[in-house]
Amino acid sequence: MKRLVCFCKWFIFKAIVVFVVDKRFALGVMAFLLLWMPAVSQTDAVPVDTIVVTDFDRIDPVYVSASMDAAKRREYLILKRRVIKTMPYAKMAAMKMKAMEDKLQTIQGRRERSKYVKQCEESIKKMYMDQLKNLTIGEGQVLMKLLHRETGKTSWEIMRNYRGTGEAIFWQAFGSIYGHSLLTEYDPVLDYQIENIIKLERLE
């Protein structure tokens, strides 16, 4: 191995000397070295302690996809931020709704049930309204998709079930002004990027 290393050093030295004399020949020699030296280093080099570790579980297959150009990568990163920001709200809403439905099963009378739903709404408003008001239009659209994913119900169905059809129609019309639709659904096929982000960031 030492002889091989010495030979390589001598060969490189000779190449440098020749470079001064004949540049064309030197270029050919250096090209040979560039092709030959890596093969030697991979098979005969002295082993070192450095170990390259790649966390393949954290590689984002969507982001590194060959079909993603620079513009699409920017859009994907924006979507990623929106999903990470709104997923906690969707999970909270699903948990609250499940608890509320379980409680409603034990309450008799329409007035008492309406009173309980209103109390739940007021509690959620106090806890999260200031944060939800600061959501952008894009974040709101992602949140509605995630609500459908977590609860199995669209925002329209949730609003209609707990506040009535009339109020659902009002908020649907109001939301449409800002590009929202209470009928927004989550499709794991069409929304594969969102699903990938949830899995990759372990948001479930």
Contacts for 193 with CB less than 8 Å, ≥ 6 apart: 62, 76, 79
Q: Does residue 178 surpass a pLDDT of 80? A: no
**Which has the higher per-residue pLDDT, 45 or 184?**
184
Q: How far apart are CA 5 and CA 1, in angstroms?
A: 6
DSSP helix/strand/coil, 148: helix
Helix pair 70-104, 192-200: axis angle to 10 deg: 80
Q: Does residue 141 surpass a pLDDT of 70? A: yes
Tens digits of per-residue pLDDT, 6-56? 545 444 444 444 444 444 444 444 444 333 333 333 334 444 444 444 455
Residue 180: which pLDDT band, with cuts at 50, 70 and 90?
Answer: confident
Q: How far apart are CA 168 and CA 165, in angstroms?
A: 5
Kindly state the average pLDDT of the residues 135-144.
Answer: 90
Kindly state the average pLDDT of the residues 155-178.
Answer: 86
Helix pair 192-200, 137-151: axis angle to 10 deg: 80
122, 109 in Cβ contact below 8 A? Answer: no
83, 194 in Cβ contact below 8 A? Answer: yes
- Residue 200 neighbours by CB distance under 10 Å: 16
pLDDT of residue 33: 38
pTM: 0.66
pLDDT of residue 46: 44
60-91: b (≥16 Cβ within 10 Å) or e: eebbeeeeeeeeeeeebeebbebbeebbebbb
pLDDT of residue 30: 41
Which of 139, 132, 133 shows the shortest CA–CA distance to 78?
Answer: 139
- 3-state DSSP: the chain helix, strand, coil percent, rounded to 5? 75, 0, 25
pLDDT of residue 57: 56
Structure token pair of residue 114 = 């309406």
pLDDT of residue 153: 92
**Which has the higher per-residue pLDDT, 128 or 40?**
128
pLDDT of residue 83: 96
Q: How far apart are CA 114 and CA 105, in angstroms?
A: 13
Structure token pair of residue 180 = 């929202």
**Which has the higher per-residue pLDDT, 105 or 49?**
105
Kindly state the average pLDDT of the residues 142-152.
Answer: 93
